[in-house]
A and B are shown apart, each in its own frame.
Chain A
Amino acid sequence: MIAADKPRQRASSARLLVIAAGGSLTHAARTDLVDFLRRGDLVVANDAATLPASLHGMHLPTGAAIEVRLAGRLARDAGDLRRCIAVVFGAGDFRIRTEDRPLPPALAAGDRLALGPLAAMIERGLDHPRLIALRFDGSATEVWTGLARHGRPIQYAHMPMPLKLWDVWTPIAGPPVAFEPPSAGFALDWRLLAVLRDRGIGFATLTHAAGISSTGDVDLDRRLPFPEPYFIPASAVRAIRRSRGCSGRIVAVGTTVVRALEHAASLGGGVRPGAGIARQRIDARTKLRVVDAILSGAHEPGSSHYDLLRAFADDATLRAATAELDAQHYRTHEFGDSLLVERRRPCASCWRESVVRAAA
């Protein structure tokens, strides 16, 4: 696989590797995605807009240059970003691989940070030299103004040009709660949504506050993903029931949708509308209750994204898929090509369970 290094959300050349339930692999153009869906299926996407969560500035006690990457919101209210979890890097920017970024100066509770027009204080450290809880000065409104003026999208060294907010703003973007883009949604456009409708394929959204995908620090990366708040609207739950009722598949656009739906379903009683906080990891051991297929970016083995795919397909199938992605030079990362992975076989008992629930 090669890194996609241009911020084009819907490159006309984007490709799609379809991994069917039986393990067969099919290469396609991503614009033909709809041909792999059936009447009655439901496509569920994450409509979170992406925050400009990277803030350059200074650690005032030492005068050292730092980059603060907001990574989680501490208030329940999505309109209130005054208190956040953040990962702090020393001097430099996204052009340096996160693995190579220097540590920030020693960070202590009470330290003041100057971040452009925003001022903040470290509330406490979170058991790692890079990880803090911080509080911005001022009102919630002033924090929005400051972020809009000074914040930049979080980005990584594989993308050489600085990203603008519009580069990471999906076509369906709504509430700005994601710290990194729910990038599987880059594959969506309004033409596709119209075609889905014409073909009797449902479309629904939920809002999941996608967190940061990587810190470059092995210990810290092991703690990812951080707990992520989500909101599932009533319309999405109705659509899931409708689709289930006619044996349609639930197709998640991106790992965040899988996390939200599977977390909601894990609470018992099927997926219910409302807010929740996804804390679970999804991997080979996860028994999927709701999602039948996932549209996702192409990710390297070992990443948490790849781990999540192991809930859908067995390791032999994923190894074969990775070999195909390599051989065919698929492009990886958020602006790259896509995979459509169907769950290996409908888990008969889960399936029955959800149909019974849907009927209830």
Chain B
Amino acid sequence: MAKTYNPVPRKPHDRDSVAGLRVAITGGTSGLGLALVHEFVARGARAAFVARDRARVECIAAAASAHGIVGDVACKEDIHRIALQVLGLLGGLDCLINNASSLGPVPLRPLGDTDCEDLELALATNVVGPFRLTKALLGALAASAREDRGAVVLNVSSDAAINAYAGWGAYGTSKAALRQLSRIWHEEMKTQGVGFLSLDPGDMDTPLHTLALPDADPATLKRPETAARELVDAICIALAGRSRLPPSRDGASIDACTEAAAAPG
């Protein structure tokens, strides 16, 4: 049950602990998002997740001991409804993970064959949605920073944000924009103690990857649970005020484009 008054104290600057952390994760019913929900809950965090499909949300909320919220980050009307439920259920917020992603048109196709509407949809889900949700939750995150609980926003990135992969135009363009958004947010909000991370979890065995590359051998892909563990470790470090993130264990690039959360003044 959420408690706004007398929020459960969280030990600040404990580098391995997310116990008591109030975290919201978008795209929480499959792939990396689902693995993040499980990882956070297993490590003692209080998690709320967002996804579009009501039945899946309810099923996973019950199984994972997390708060499930039905909503679509690409839909303007849904954003403040999501924010309302996140803050109502958790009483505040220490960490937001913008994980929900749209691949753009599938099967993948060259930009010349990409409908403008498909590009718009990828931008709505991968850039504008995270921007809106971050903005709606920014006050809560800054309040958390003032209380020395730490505050971090993780925007899940991709190597397609940096490399020009043929066929990945809508996705890569949107992820590049999200990465730059993270960097500028970070510059602007670091004096308020809110840190922004843009991290590439690597190629994972997830529904999104299957959509993009149906013929990929899952054995060659990272398990989302592994990526989730690495991301939560990175968030711990950011919350503890570390300035540099370690490289990922299996060599996948962790895109440490940002400094970790600045300690609130």
| Chain A interface residues toward B at CB < 8 A | 47, 49, 51-52, 76-81, 140-141, 144-145, 147-149, 164-166, 169-177, 190, 193-194, 197, 204-205, 207, 229, 231, 233-235, 274-275
B56 within 8 A of A: no
Least CB distance from A42 to B in Å reads: 12
Cβ contact within 8 Å between B80 and A165: yes
- In chain B, residues 69-98, which have Cβ atoms closer than 8 Å to a Cβ of chain A? 69-70, 79-85, 87-89, 91-93
Query: Number of contact residues on B: which range applies?
Result: 35 or more
Cβ contact within 8 Å between B139 and A47: yes
Cβ contact within 8 Å between B143 and A47: yes
Set A52, A140, A147, A174: member contacting B143, Cβ < 8 A: A174
Taken together as a complex, chains A and B put the C-alpha atoms of A241 and B188 apart, in Å, by 28
- Which residues on the A side are within 8 Å of B80 (C-beta)? 164-166, 169
Of all A-B residue pairs in the complex, the 5 with the closest CB atoms, nearest first, are A79-B2, A78-B4, A172-B139, A148-B81, A165-B80
- Which residues on the A side are within 8 Å of B4 (C-beta)? 77-79, 175, 177, 207, 231
With A165-B80, A235-B147 as given contacts, are A144 and B88 in contact (CB-CB < 8 Å)?
Answer: yes
Set A47, A77, A165: member contacting B1, Cβ < 8 A: A77
Cβ contact within 8 Å between B147 and A234: yes
- Which residues on the B side are within 8 Å of A233 (C-beta)? 143, 146-147
| Chain B interface residues toward A at CB < 8 A | 1-6, 67, 69-70, 79-85, 87-89, 91-93, 136, 138-140, 142-143, 146-148, 188-189, 191-192, 265
Main secondary structure of the interface of B (DSSP, over half): helix
Set B79, B87, B89, B192: member contacting A174, Cβ < 8 A: B87
Q: A148-B84, A176-B87 are in contact. List 6 more A-B contacts (CB 8 A).
A: A78-B88, A79-B2, A80-B2, A173-B87, A175-B92, A233-B143
- Which residues on the A side are within 8 Å of B84 (C-beta)? 49, 51-52, 144, 147-148, 165, 176
With A148-B81, A204-B146 as given contacts, are A174 and B139 in contact (CB-CB < 8 Å)?
Answer: yes
- Which residues on the B side are within 8 Å of A79 (C-beta)? 1-4, 88-89, 91
Cβ contact within 8 Å between A78 and B146: no
- Which residues on the A side are within 8 Å of B2 (C-beta)? 77-80, 140
Q: Whose C-beta in chain B lies nearest to the C-beta of A207?
A: B4
Q: Whose C-beta in chain A lies nearest to the C-beta of B140?
A: A174
